[in-house]
Amino acid sequence: MSDPLVLAVNVDLTADASALRAYLRDVEAAGADMVWVPEAYGRDAVSVIGFCAAATTRMRLGSAVLNVFSRSPALIAQTAASCDELTGGRFDLGLGTSGPQVVEGWHGVPFTRPLERSREVMEVCRMIWRRELSVYEGRSVQLPLPSDRGTGLGKPLKLMTHPVRSHIPIWLASMGPRNVQLTAAQADGWLPMLFIPELADRAWGEDLRKGAADRDPRLPPLQIAVSAHTEITSESQHAAQAARDRARPSLARYIGGMGARGANFYNTLIHRYGFPEEAKRVQDLYLEHKPEEAAAALSDRLVEALTVCGPPKYVRDRLAAFRAAGVTNFRVNVNAGSEAPRTVAQLKELTR
C-alpha cells in the first residue's frame, strides 16, 4: 500500500505575527502534515521557519525555496543543519535557482551556470552534513577559496555542530529539462510549479526518466510536492467556476509576469503543455500592464487543469490523478488563510 498523501500548506509572508501564529495553530490542529515557507524579496524564509517551528509541534517545515546564488553553499548547509537540529529533525531544505531578475536585480550576483550551481550546492551541503572537511573543487564552488581569488589563508573546516540527521532531505524547484533531470538523479524531492497531472508526462516525463536512470542508489524514491489553488465547493457548477476564477490573477501573474519575455519559465511550461497561443496572449497582456485582461484571457480549460476546485467527489478524483502522476505531497493554496484549516480538514477526510 502506498504512503498516504502528505497534506501541506503554504505561508502567507504578508501576515502579521499574531495572524500567522493563529494560522499555524489552526492548520496543524486540522491535520496538516507540513508547512512550506517561500522566499522572494520580502521576509526571508529562514526567520519565518524559526517562527513556524516555535508555533508548531508536529508539522514538518520546508523552505520553498532558498535560491542557490544569494547564500554561500556552506551557509545554506549550516542553516539547514541548525533548522533541523532546533526543530528535532522536522526540516526539509528546498532549493531553487530563482531567476535573473531577482538574483541580479535584488541580490546583485550573476545568474550564471544555474545547473552547475544547483548540483554543487547539493553536493557541498551533503558533504558538510557528514561533517567532512570543507574541501570541494567545482566550477561554481571552490573550498577553500583558491589563493588567486583571495588571500590564500582559507583552510578546510568542519561543521562544529552535530546535525540531528546526516542526510537532510533536499528538494529542488526545477522546470527546465536539464534541471528536472538533475532533480530526478540527485535530489530527495521535486518542487514543480503549475503541475497538471494529465500533462505532466508530456512536459517532463522524458527528463524524469533520464534523470532516474542515473539516480544515486543510496537515495530514496523521488518525492514530488505540488501546489494548486484548492477549494471544496457545493455541487453547483457556478460555485466551482467561481472558485477557479479566484485563481486567475495568480495564474496570470506567473504565466505572464514572472520573468522577462523569453526568460519566463512558467510561460515556457504552458507552451510545453500544448497551450502556446494562450501562453503568448497572456504574457503579451501582462507585459502591457493589463493584468485583469491577462487573467480573463486564460481559458476555462487551462484554469480548471491548474486548480483543484469543485465538489467533494471531484476533488477526490483530482487528488487521485495527482497520486497517479507520482505526487506524494500536496500543498493547499487558498485565497484566504482563514479557509485553510477547513480545507485541510476536508481533504484529510477525502484522502482517508
| Per-residue pLDDT at 251 | 98
E strand spans, 85-163: 91-96, 136-137, 142-143
* Residue 336 main-chain phi, psi, to 5 deg: -120, 130
- Residue 82 inside a domain? The answer is yes
pTM: 0.95
Closest C-alpha to 157, from 71, 78, 66, 68: 78
Co-location of 195 and 47 in the same domain: yes
Q: What is the CATH number of the domain that holds 154?
A: 3.20.20.30
Helix (H, G, I), strand (E, B) or coil at 257: helix
- Residue 267 inside a domain? The answer is yes
| Per-residue pLDDT at 2 | 72
- Residue 39 inside a domain? The answer is yes
Confidence band (pLDDT; 50, 70, 90) for 112? very high
| Predicted confidence (pLDDT) at residue 1 exceeds the cutoff of 60 | no
Cell numbers for 154: 582559507
pLDDT tens-digit readout, 74-86: 999 999 999 999 9
Confidence band (pLDDT; 50, 70, 90) for 38? very high
Amino acid (one-letter) located at 258: M
Mean pLDDT throughout 279-308?
98
Co-location of 220 and 319 in the same domain: yes
| Per-residue pLDDT at 334 | 86
- Asked whether the beta carbons of 172 and 119 are under 8 A apart, the reply is no
Co-location of 101 and 222 in the same domain: yes
- Asked whether the beta carbons of 58 and 137 are under 8 A apart, the reply is no
Q: Domain containing 260: what range?
A: 248-305
| Predicted confidence (pLDDT) at residue 28 exceeds the cutoff of 60 | yes
- Asked whether the beta carbons of 282 and 123 are under 8 A apart, the reply is no
Cell numbers for 249: 490573477
| Per-residue pLDDT at 337 | 66
Q: Which residues contact 207 (CB under 8 A, 6 or more apart)?
A: 177, 178, 180, 181, 184
**Cα–Cα distance between 74 and 84 in angstroms, integer?**
15
Strands 66-67 and 34-37: unpaired
State percent of the chain over pLDDT 90. 93
pLDDT tens-digit readout, 226-264: 999 999 999 999 999 999 999 999 999 999 999 889 889
| Predicted confidence (pLDDT) at residue 64 exceeds the cutoff of 90 | yes
Cell numbers for 2: 502506498
- Residue 238 inside a domain? The answer is no
E strand spans, the chain: 6-10, 34-37, 60-63, 66-67, 91-96, 136-137, 142-143, 170-173, 189-190, 223-232, 307-310, 329-333
| Per-residue pLDDT at 336 | 64
Q: What is the DSSP string of 78-98?
A: HHHHHHHHHTTS-EEEEEE--
Handedness of CA 47, 52, 53, 59 (dihedral sign): negative
How many domains is the chain partitioned into structurally? 2
**Cα–Cα distance between 117 and 206 in angstroms, integer?**
23
Confidence band (pLDDT; 50, 70, 90) for 184? very high
Co-location of 126 and 188 in the same domain: yes
The four Cα atoms 92, 130, 135, 95 give a dihedral, to 10 degrees, of: -10
Co-location of 132 and 192 in the same domain: yes
- Residue 243 inside a domain? The answer is no
- Residue 338 inside a domain? The answer is yes
| Predicted confidence (pLDDT) at residue 197 exceeds the cutoff of 80 | yes
- Residue 241 inside a domain? The answer is no
Q: Which residues contact 300 (CB under 8 A, 6 or more apart)?
A: 241, 244
**Cα–Cα distance between 83 and 71 in angstroms, integer?**
16
pLDDT tens-digit readout, 200-229: 999 999 999 999 999 999 999 999 999 999
Cell numbers for 339: 479557509
Co-location of 148 and 266 in the same domain: no
- Residue 222 inside a domain? The answer is yes
